[in-house]
Structure 1
Amino acid sequence: MEGLVPLGGVIFIVIFIALFGAFLVWLAANITGTKPVYNPVKYEPYECGIPGIEKKETKISVKYYLTAILFILFDIEIIFMYPWAISFREFIATGEGTFVFVSMMIFIAIFIFGLFWEVKSKALEWD
């Protein structure tokens, strides 16, 4: 029963936040007293006093976005490895070194699989 005490506090906070949020949404919807009217002009693009012109084509290659997303993905994976390397000696001292090492090897295997998949699918080639 002692293990449920901290969980009870978390459950209470989650329920309180959900109810309070629902109350605020209800209050915002009912306090105005008028229904919103759909106005198509309000949803048209408008920038710096000039009505926006929608273009069907883009001049920026999708390869830039793909390269940026892949960089962020692999950069974040490397960032996860740094704290592990710093604290690995502490895990060995507490006897959890084997578990943490195996977990990181699985993580690195998934990382290397993703890297090989990226090279094989030619994601970074600019042809």
Structure 2
Amino acid sequence: MTRRSGTQAEPGAGESVPATESPQTTAVTMLAPGRLAYLSSCRCLHRSSLTPRVLRGDRAAWCAAAALVLLQAAFVDVPFLHGWFGSAPIGPREGLVSAGLAVVVLLLTEPVKALGRARERYASGPTAQDGTRA
């Protein structure tokens, strides 16, 4: 792997990293929680995922989410992985921005799902009290 020219000092780090590695790591770190939020929302297409009931979900989904979080943390914080992937440590600000982006993704998917549910109800037409079509 070749090193890029131009370096920037990481706060609190004794060495400098190529200037493009920290923004690339930040971008990847923003994508991972955003995808997790989107996939979590998509598990509940026919109801809101902003309810406490969603927290009692599938154990496999929680294990996969935990694995994603741990692997992402390793990508950001484990020094030998920086050499393999061309990543660099990021600061707490970038981590908070990534978490905030995940919340935004989750909140933006809810109206889209609600519109889809409304469209399905409209397309199916009105139903009578006994469940038959009127």
TM-score, length-scaled by structure 1: 0.35
Return the index of the structure with the highest Cα Rg. Answer: 1
Structure with higher RCO (Cα < 8 A, 6+ apart): 2
TM-score, length-scaled by structure 2: 0.33
